[in-house]
Structure 1
Amino acid sequence: MKISVLTVGKIKEKFYTEAINEYSKRLSRYCKLEIVQVPDEKTVENCSEIEADIVKQKEGERLLKHIPENAYVITLEIQGKQLDSVEMAKKINQLGIQGNSHIVFVIGGSLGLHKSVSNRADYKLSFSKMTFPHQLMRVILLEQIYRSFRIINNQPYHK
């Protein structure tokens, strides 16, 4: 199975990069992992709704260019469905059983995802009603994907 994590913006903090590298290494036992970063759009503080939508649209166009037509797309959105770790493992496992060999997880930028990206989603996932920095969300997502594969393979993992 191939898992792509498609994100907006670069990681600047070393501690995030180290965590991402660690989970990427751990995941290499279970799947082919690809992390794709698209440039973020410069955003002014307290921008209007129209300006925010333009920023999200530009970022969305960049994201959509990296989503293959046959991929199963899971967007991370506050309005998405919340799953516990076992349910997420079942979701990933079921997708594999159904023949979905490529899952693309999409994390938006600081303003979120444009509706064009959300509309492309096959599934909308929420980790919480809270907002997280998109850099931290990459680490959380990779950890949960790793945990999912441990659960799928009946391997121990701390709770």
Structure 2
Amino acid sequence: MKITLITVGKIKERFFEAAIEEYSKRLSRYCRLEILQVADEKTPDGAKEALERQIREKEGERILSHIRDGAYVIALAIEGKQLSSEELAARINRLGVEGKGQLVFIIGGSLGLSKAVMNRADYHLSFSPMTFPHQLMRVILLEQIYRSFRIIAGEPYHK
């Protein structure tokens, strides 16, 4: 199975990069992982809703340009469905059994995801009603994907 993370913006802190590298290495045993970063748009302070929408749309176009036909797309969104680790593992496993060869997880920028991206997504996943820094969310998502593969394989993983 191929797992692709499409994220908006670059990682700025070395400690996040180190965590991402570690989970990428661990995941290489279970799947082919690809992490794509698209450029984020600068948002001026006090931006009006129309400008924020334009920014989401620009970032959304960049995201959508990387999604292949046939990919199963999971968008991370506060309003999405919250799952336990076991439920996420079961979903990933079921998608693999159904022949979905590519799963794409999308983490938007600071303004969230465009309507076009949300409409393209096959599933909306929420980790919490809280907002997390986008760089930290990459680490959390990779850890949960790794945990999912450990659960699927029946291998121990700390709780």
SS in structure 2 at match of 1:4: strand
Q: How far apart in 1 are the matches of 2:114 and 2:20?
A: 25
Name the counterpart of 1:152. 152
Percent of aligned positions with the same letter in both sequences? 67
Letter in structure 1 aligned against 2:111: L
1:108-155 CA-to-partner distances (Å, cap 9, x unmatched) read 001100010000000000000000111100000000000000000000
Shift of 1:52: 0.5
Tell me the secondary structure at the aligned position of residue 81 of structure 2: strand
Q: Runs of 4+ in structure 1 displaced over 4 angstroms?
A: none
Q: In 2, distance between residues paired with 1:129 and 1:49?
A: 22
Residue in 2 that maps onto 1:53: 53
Structure 1 residue 72 corresponds to structure 2 residue 65: no
What is residue 100 of structure 1 aligned with on the other side?
Answer: 100
TM-align CA RMSD: 0.4
Pairing of 1:79-98 with structure 2 (within 5 A): 79-98=79-98
Distance 1:131 1:45 in 2: 19
Q: What's the secondary structure of 1:99's corresponding residue?
A: coil
The 3-state SS of whatever aligns with 1:79 is: strand
Letter of the 1:58 partner, please give it.
K
Aligned 1:1-159 pairs, distance under 5 A: 1-159=1-159
Q: Which runs of 5+ in 2 are unaligned?
A: none
Unaligned runs of 5+ in 1: none
Q: CA deviation at 1:45?
A: 1.3
Encode CA deviations 1:82-103: one digit per residue, 9 max, x unaligned.
Answer: 0000000000000000000100
Deviations 1:55-106 (A, max 9, x none): 0000000000000011000000001000000000000000000000100000
Q: Find the aligned partners of 1:45 and 1:11 in 2 and give their Cα distance.
A: 21
TM-score, normalised by the number of residues in structure 2: 0.99
Aligned length: 159
Matched to 2:63, the amino acid is L
TM-score (norm 1): 0.99
